[in-house]
Structure 1
Amino acid sequence: MLKKKLQLFAAPINTTTAADLEPAISVDFTTRIAENIKELQEVIGVSELIPMSAGTDIKIYEIKKVNTPSQVGEGETIPLTEITRKLVKTYTLDLNKYRKNTTAEAIQKVGREIAINQTDEKLVSEVQKDIKKSFYTTLATGSGTATGTDLQTALANLWAKLQVRFEDMDVTPIFFVNPQDVADYLGTAQIHMQTAFGFTYIENFLGLGTAIISPQVTATKPIATVKENLNGAYAPVSGDVGAVFNLTADATGLVGMVHDLKTDNASVDTLLMSNVVFFPEYADGVFVATISVGE
Structure 2
Amino acid sequence: MKNKVFRELQLFAAETGTTVAADLTPAISVDFTSRIAQNIVELQQLLGITDLIPMAAGTDIKIYKWTVGELAAQVGEGEDIDLTHVKRELADTITLDLDKYRRNTTAEAIQKVGRDIAINQSDEKLIQKVQKGIKGSLYTVLKAGTGTAAGTNLQICLANLWAKLQKYYEDEDVSPVYFVNPQDVADYLGTAQITMQTAFGFTYIENFLGLGTAIVSPQVEAKKPIATAKENLRGAYVPMSGDVAQTFNLTADTTGLVGMTHSTKTGNATVDTLLMSCVKFFPEFQDGVFVGTISGE
Report the TM-score, using the length of structure 2 for normalisation.
0.92
1:13 to partner: Cα distance: 9.1
Q: Which amino acid aligns with 1:190?
A: Q
Of 202, 205, 209 in structure 2, the residue corresponding to residue 202 of structure 1 is 205
Instruction: Report the Cα distance in structure 1 between the residues aligned to 2:14 and 2:267, rounded to whole angstroms.
Output: 18
Give yes or no for contact 1:23–1:258 (8 Å, CA) kept in 2.
yes
SS of alignment partner, residue 190 of structure 2:
helix
Q: 2:175 maps to what in 1?
A: 172
Give yes or no for contact 1:236–1:255 (8 Å, CA) kept in 2.
yes
Give yes or no for contact 2:176–2:212 (8 Å, CA) kept in 1.
yes
Q: Deviations over 1:94-148 (max 9, x none)?
A: 0000111122122223433443210110121121011001000110110011111
Instruction: Report the Cα distance in structure 1 between the residues aligned to 2:46 and 2:38, rounded to whole angstroms.
Output: 13
Q: 1:131 maps to what in 2?
A: 134
Q: 1:50 maps to what in 2?
A: 53
Instruction: Report the Cα distance in structure 2 between the residues aligned to 1:16 and 1:91, rounded to whole angstroms.
Output: 45
The 5 A counterparts of 1:36-185 are: 36-185=39-188
Distance 1:58 1:290, change over 3 A: same
Of 27, 32, 37 in structure 1, the residue corresponding to residue 35 of structure 2 is 32
Instruction: Report the Cα distance in structure 2 between the residues aligned to 1:53 and 1:6, rounded to whole angstroms.
Output: 44
Give yes or no for contact 2:69–2:85 (8 Å, CA) kept in 1.
yes
Q: Could you list the runs of 5+ residues in structure 2 that have no partner in the other structure? A: 1-5
Instruction: Report the Cα distance in structure 1 between the residues aligned to 2:205 and 2:54, rounded to whole angstroms.
Output: 29
When structure 1 is superposed on structure 2, of 255-264 and 71-80 the one drifting more is 71-80
Give yes or no for contact 1:88–1:141 (8 Å, CA) kept in 2.
no
SS of alignment partner, residue 132 of structure 1:
helix
Instruction: Report the Cα distance in structure 1 between the residues aligned to 2:107 and 2:14, rounded to whole angstroms.
Output: 17
Of 227, 247, 252 in structure 1, the residue corresponding to residue 250 of structure 2 is 247
1:205 to partner: Cα distance: 0.4
Distance 1:55 1:230, change over 3 A: same
Q: 1:213 maps to what in 2?
A: 216
SS of alignment partner, residue 188 of structure 1:
coil
Q: 2:23 maps to what in 1?
A: 20
Give yes or no for contact 2:153–2:188 (8 Å, CA) kept in 1.
no
Instruction: Report the Cα distance in structure 1 between the residues aligned to 2:80 and 2:134, rounded to whole angstroms.
Output: 51
Q: Which amino acid aligns with 2:158?
A: L
1:20 to partner: Cα distance: 2.4
Give yes or no for contact 2:67–2:88 (8 Å, CA) kept in 1.
yes
When structure 1 is superposed on structure 2, of 75-84 and 31-40 the one drifting more is 75-84
Instruction: Report the Cα distance in structure 1 between the residues aligned to 2:234 and 2:211, rounded to whole angstroms.
Output: 21
SS of alignment partner, residue 272 of structure 1:
strand
The aligned length equals: 293
Report the TM-score, using the length of structure 1 for normalisation.
0.93
Give RMSD over aligned pairs. 2.2
Distance 1:5 1:166, change over 3 A: closer
SS of alignment partner, residue 162 of structure 1:
helix
Instruction: Report the Cα distance in structure 2 between the residues aligned to 1:17 and 1:134, rounded to whole angstroms.
Output: 39
1:12 to partner: Cα distance: 8.5
